[in-house]
Amino acid sequence: MKKNIFLSLIFVLFPLAMLWADQLFYVSFASRVMIYAIAATSLNLVLGYGGMISFGHAAFVGTGAYVGSILIAEGVTSAFIGWPAAIAVSALAAWIIGAISLRTRGVYFIMITLAFAQMMFYLVNSMKAYGGDEGLSLRQRPSLGFELGNEVAFYYVVLFLLLLSIFLLYRLMRSRFGRVVIAIRENEARAEAIGFPVFRYKLACFVIAGAAAGLAGALLASHGKYVNPNVLHWAQSGTLMIMVILGGIGNLWGGVLGAAVLLGLEHVISDYPIGWLAQLAPNYQQHANLGVGMVMLAIVLFAPQGIAGLLERRKHAPA
Amino acid sequence: MSWILIAEQSLNGLQFGLMLFLLAAGLTLVFGIMDMINLAHGSLYMLGAFLASTFVQLTGSFTAGVLLAIPATALLGMALEVSVLRTLYARDHMAQVLATFALILIINELTRLVWGSDAALPMPGALSGPVELMPGLPYSAYRLVIIAVGLAVAVLLYFLVTKTRVGMLVRAGASNREMALAMGVNIRLLFTLVFGAGAALCAVAGAMLAPLLAVQVGMGENILILAFVVIVIGGIGSIRGALVGALLVGIVDTIGRAFLPILFGVFFQPRAASAAGPAIASVSIYLLMAVVLYFKPQGLFPARG
């Protein structure tokens, strides 16, 4: 408990410290990490708790991002309208895609979710009225009744939404619904035999995750004041999966840890020159993906439970 | 809309479909025998194109360059299989997707380090002109060569898989791995060989398509997704399915790109049609896949009985 209060204090005081140190960039960076954490946590619900390997989660993040952006471009600048609309449309998309995809299993499920994400990617690319493949720039962030253009204010809003998402996930997984979803992951045939409507539970799980991903998308577009079709690119779905695995699949904090470590790693490699490495390979910073790829490969091969798994293993190891 | 346009676009579809088949054939065998999702298959296609570009420059001959690139890519593929992919067979699909996704990032950056972001592979001069197929129907000589190479490789592959002993083992492995193992088939060795063959096919496709498309980092990723669509439509593990799926996807994609905008122009404003046409054409192959999976969840030619 003491540890939790200490951690919360760090998160609450962080932007004030950065403000004092005149490092506003890091407040904005932290907001970005937390937005990705929401997206990764929503995927973790599908992937880790539901056991459904969806390779098209970026479709829902992208739907949310575009719904939020289009509303702002059309003059609806209230976040009280924009964000719920993004959540609703993403949930609807997840309901339609899930209802069709969940009829298939295994590899076919992976591929059909990917196919639907690709369809959305091309559809968004063709929306010439909203920038097409060049993307859509926004004049302003949406408003919550107060100015969200302020990085510190935006940080606290995102922090609140992230904690809310984690809390809801925690409650959900301890509810009857969560128990059934986990039972289905462990043994679908048995859950079906007991009499649970397996398909409906899986679909509900998929839709909740899609809705949360939509919120993350709307936040992402608000944060950068820009959206382009690449938020729906299949590599983005892959990156989200990596965040989940990196952090810890089926772990409450897995998505948060994964997003923080992956984005942090990218940032450190590309923005902080390391003397001896720069001497060895002068342009290494342009090749940040090489390091990211290596770390990912190592995690998959040697630490299948992710960072959260490593931490827990240490906690349980004999002293 | 004239018959010349239709004939030309059908040939383009055939040409693209055959190249897709080369990619899909290797992918479907890897998938079918070892139950392994290999996203890095597209990276081998890219490596094939880059290697061909280097060898063509070194030897000064297009044919010699392509012929050298094929075994070189096969060796790289086998090295990849022995070093990393082999450890992934026992893991679940998610681990395979992630590990090979990581490999894509690594191979892309290594390629960028060695060659830079792109390379040049010009069309051989003798083939750059058109050939009069029929009076009034000129067609690119180079594309005809691609069709010929694609058909030749497809026939060769068919012969290999259905008529030889190695082919029999491959089919046995694809339809029931445990049974093949129990019968004493050295699946490990067989699989390294199949992987090498798949990489060689990637190199053929990469090198042949390179003069038409651009040789650049990332070229493997979009075509990889198409190859996956092909094998899912065709049925995983089935060479015949891969051929049918590849031709279907190649033709639907090409024809859709060429004619949907025209078709839309009949019903909608020209501006709306030209904007929506290409997007709908891109969507059409995924729609095709979703429809096939909805009615035949195992694909058109399921390999496992």
Report how far apart, in Å, the C-alpha atoms of B170 and of each of A185, B186, B300 are.
Answer: 33, 11, 20
Q: Sign of the C-alpha dihedral, residues B214, B217, B222, B227?
A: positive
Residues of A within an 8 Å Cβ radius of B: 47, 53, 55, 100, 103-108, 110-112, 114-116, 118-119, 122-123, 125-126, 128, 132, 234-235, 238, 241-242, 245, 249, 286-287, 289-290, 292-294, 296-297, 300-301, 304
Three-state DSSP at B175 gives: helix
Domain boundaries A22-316, corresponding CATH code? 1.10.3470
Q: Looking at residues A40-54, what average pLDDT do you find?
A: 93
B236 inside 8 A of chain A by CB: yes
Percent over 70 (pLDDT), chain A: 93
What is the chain A residue with the closest CA to B86? Answer: A301
Q: Looking at residues A232-255, what average pLDDT do you find?
A: 89
> How confident is residue B276, by pLDDT bands cut at 50, 70 and 90?
low
| pLDDT reported for residue A316 | 60
Give me the residue label for tokens 């539901």. Answer: A50
**What's this model's pTM, rounded to 2 decimal places?**
0.85
Give me the residue label for tokens 């498309």. Answer: B213
Model confidence over B41-94: pLDDT tens digits?
A: 999 999 999 999 999 999 988 899 999 999 999 999 999 999 999 889 888 888
Tokens of B130: 């058109």
* A108 to B232: CB separation less than 8 angstroms, yes or no: yes
Q: Which of A100, A122, A300 sits opposite B99 (nearest CB)?
A: A300
* A119 to B286: CB separation less than 8 angstroms, yes or no: yes
Give me the residue label for tokens 């392509």. Answer: B66
User: What is the distance between the alpha carbons of residues A254 and B136, in angstroms, rounded to a whole number?
Assistant: 64
Q: Which of A126, A245, A293 sits opposite B105 (nearest CB)?
A: A293
Percent over 90 (pLDDT), chain B: 32
B138 bridge partner residues: B132
| pLDDT reported for residue A131 | 80
Tokens of A135: 């993307």
Global ipTM = 0.80
Q: Classify domain B16-295 at the CATH topology level.
A: ABC transporter involved in vitamin B12 uptake, BtuC (1.10.3470)
Residues of chain A found within 8 Å of residue B283, distances taken between Cβ atoms: 119, 122-123
